[in-house]
Amino acid sequence: MLTHAQVWSAIDRLATRAGLSASGLARRAGLDPTTFNKSKRVTPQGRPRWPSTESIAKALAATATPFDIFVRLIEPSAAAAARSVPLIGFADAGTRGSFDDGGFPAGEGWNEVVFPAVDDEHAYAIEVSGQSMEPPYRNGDIIIVSPAAPIRRGDRVVVRTRSGEVMAKELKRKTSKSIELKSLNDGHADRTLAVSDVLWIVRILWASQ
């Protein structure tokens, strides 16, 4: 028997296959961005709310996924290699209270996204917005970062300043006094920040493409 949880889990896996969050999948399908959000899966009265066949059909068309593949995603075994990680939009990452001083998720405003083979318990996801990080990261891409991963020269990183600015760059050099960052987009200048101005810096582990 097909269950409510199985269908919604299949939609989450469909989004993952396409390198999208649930809201990103809805947008790509031409639906309201909240269509597949967890908050829409249960009515205010606590009753399960099922996705419409129309919304599923649009999501399959938008990701060029045959229906038989979607059926396979419903099978519990498909979830064996996946886990949920916290997700926040890049624009929201500068909001006060979203992170602690170490760059770990905190506070409100977080959703979840399912990603396969994410075995770092500290990892979380950030959804890219805008064109400032092109070509490696485009609007709507999901990047997986970890505040616990070691950082070396040449690594791509996400940095948050004490003023609330958040940016994705390549680490060129780090000294006791400054952090030199190379822009990922030739249209944007490289940056040099004083260590005292940086709240946290985390390494990018993986990105959807």
Same-domain pairing of 148 and 184: yes
Q: Give the DSSP per-residue string, 115-170.
A: EET---TT-EEEE--SSTTTTTS-TT-EEEEETTS---TT-EEEEEETTS-EEEEE
Query: Could you tell me how many residues make up the chain?
Result: 209
What angle is formed at CA 46 by the lines to CA 40 and CA 47, rounded to 5 degrees?
A: 80
Say whether pLDDT at 193 is over 90: yes
Distance of alpha carbon 15 from alpha carbon 29, whole angstroms: 11
Same-domain pairing of 68 and 166: no
Kindly tell me the sign of the dihedral angle through the C-alpha atoms of 140, 141, 142, 143. negative
Per residue in 88-135, pLDDT tens? 888 788 777 788 777 888 876 688 776 655 667 788 889 888 888 888
Same-domain pairing of 54 and 130: no
pLDDT for position 117:
54
Same-domain pairing of 30 and 103: no
Which of 79, 94, 118 is a domain's end point? Answer: 79
Same-domain pairing of 72 and 112: no
Say whether pLDDT at 140 is over 90: no
8 A C-beta contact, residue 31 and residue 151 = no
pLDDT for position 116:
57
Domain span including residue 45: 4-79
Q: What phi-psi label fits residue 38: left (phi over 0), alpha (psi between -120 and 50 degrees) or beta?
A: alpha
Same-domain pairing of 89 and 71: no
Give 193's strand partners: 179
Same-domain pairing of 13 and 57: yes
Band of pLDDT at residue 1, cut at 50, 70 and 90? low
Same-domain pairing of 200 and 132: yes
Per residue in 105-115, pLDDT tens? 887 668 877 66
8 A C-beta contact, residue 122 and residue 147 = yes
Instruction: Output the pTM of the full model.
Output: 0.59
Take residue 38 and report the two structure tokens written for it.
Answer: 């967890």
The count of structural domains within the chain is 2
Same-domain pairing of 57 and 101: no
Domain of 96: which CATH number? 2.10.109.10
Domain of 50: which CATH number? 1.10.260.40
